[in-house]
């Protein structure tokens, strides 16, 4: 498996508030859709519950310790090890789409981080992207945007791991 992380973060690594996204940036939603389309996406139960609907064209993998019922098209894992074991010999790119807990747990396994770095902050955020050692990655800016309505600048940045992680 080639694990990629995709996240939109504020100046202080803000990810979310009250189980919702903080900034809704149109071009960023498009970037998320185009980057993840056709791939498997893994997420924590809370992020799954925050989605407005099942995202078309992407197989959803959800981690939970609960026995909740999920729609039948969702692949459910109760243990992170089972997920890693299932895909260890696969070549496919799988996207970790969050939230905080899933980013923290899978950062060491990720080869690529697609981060939307937003020039804004929110002191009321309650979910944060983990700090990581940028020296372990090659950084390239793949897009720069300005949302006129919200007066917010943001960049799409790709961090590629120089040497592979724990695998
Ligand atoms: N800005 C962004 O790009 C972005 C992306 C995604 C999410 N978010 C935000 O992030 C916030 C949610 O993050 P979060 O950390 O609270 O939740 P989360 O990571 O989405 O989900 C956490 C849940 O996942 C399950 N889980 C996690 N690790 C597990 C493991 N090893 N084994 C079994 N189950 C496991 C548990 O579910 P159970 O409790 O069911 O056991 C846990 O409570 C929201 O505000 C959301 O909007 C932001």
Over range 13-22, report the average pLDDT.
96
Q: Write the pLDDT tens digit of every residue in 45-65.
A: 999 999 999 999 999 999 999
Over range 122-133, report the average pLDDT.
98
Task: Evaluate: CB of 42 within 6 angstroms of ligand 1.
Answer: no
Over range 27-40, report the average pLDDT.
97
Q: What is the dihedral sign for C-alpha 153, 135, 31, 109?
A: negative
Task: Evaluate: CB of 65 within 6 angstroms of ligand 1.
Answer: yes
Which CATH fold topology does 2-6+30-161 show? Dihydrofolate Reductase, subunit A (3.40.430)
Mutate to test the pocket of ligand 1, among 64, 95, 118 (most ligand atoms within 8 A of CB): 64
Q: Give the separation between CA 84 and CA 14, rounded to whole angstroms.
A: 27
How much is the pLDDT for 163? 78
Over range 126-150, report the average pLDDT.
97
Q: Write the pLDDT tens digit of every residue in 63-121.
A: 999 999 999 999 999 999 999 999 999 999 999 999 999 999 999 999 999 999 999 99
Mutate to test the pocket of ligand 1, among 9, 11, 15, 154 (most ligand atoms within 8 A of CB): 15
Mean pLDDT of the chain: 96
How much is the pLDDT for 52? 93
Q: Could you tell me the residue ranges of all domains in the chain?
A: 2-6+30-161
Name the nearest CA neighbour of 52 among 85, 91, 20, 14.
20
148 CA → ligand 1 middle, Å:
31
Provide the whole-model pTM. 0.97
Name the nearest CA neighbour of 126 among 21, 45, 50.
21
Q: Give the separation between CA 69 and CA 21, rounded to whole angstroms.
A: 24
β-strand pairing of 152-161 with 137-147: antiparallel
Q: How confident is residue 16, by pLDDT bands cut at 50, 70 and 90?
A: very high
Q: How confident is residue 164, by pLDDT bands cut at 50, 70 and 90?
A: low
How much is the pLDDT for 109? 96
Q: Give the separation between CA 54 and CA 60, rounded to whole angstroms.
A: 8
Over range 135-163, report the average pLDDT.
96
């Amino acid at each position: 498996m080639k694990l990629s992380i995709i996240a939109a973060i504020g100046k202080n690594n803000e990810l979310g508030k009250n189980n919702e996204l903080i900034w809704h940036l149109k071009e960023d939603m498009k970037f998320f859709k185009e980057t993840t389309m056709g791939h498997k996406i893994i997420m924590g139960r809370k992020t799954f519950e925050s989605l407005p609907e099942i995202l078309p064209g992407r197989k959803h993998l959800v981690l939970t310790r609960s026995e909740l019922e999920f729609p039948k098209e969702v692949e459910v894992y109760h243990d992170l090890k089972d997920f890693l074991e299932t895909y260890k010999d696969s070549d496919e790119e799988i996207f970790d789409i969050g939230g905080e807990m899933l980013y923290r747990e899978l950062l060491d396994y990720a080869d690529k981080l697609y981060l939307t770095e937003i020039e804004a902050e929110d002191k009321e955020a309650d979910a944060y992207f983990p700090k990581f050692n940028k020296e372990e990655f090659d950084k390239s800016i793949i897009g720069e945007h300005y949302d006129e309505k919200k007066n917010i600048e943001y960049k799409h940045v790709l961090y590629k791991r120089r040497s592979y992680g724990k695998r």
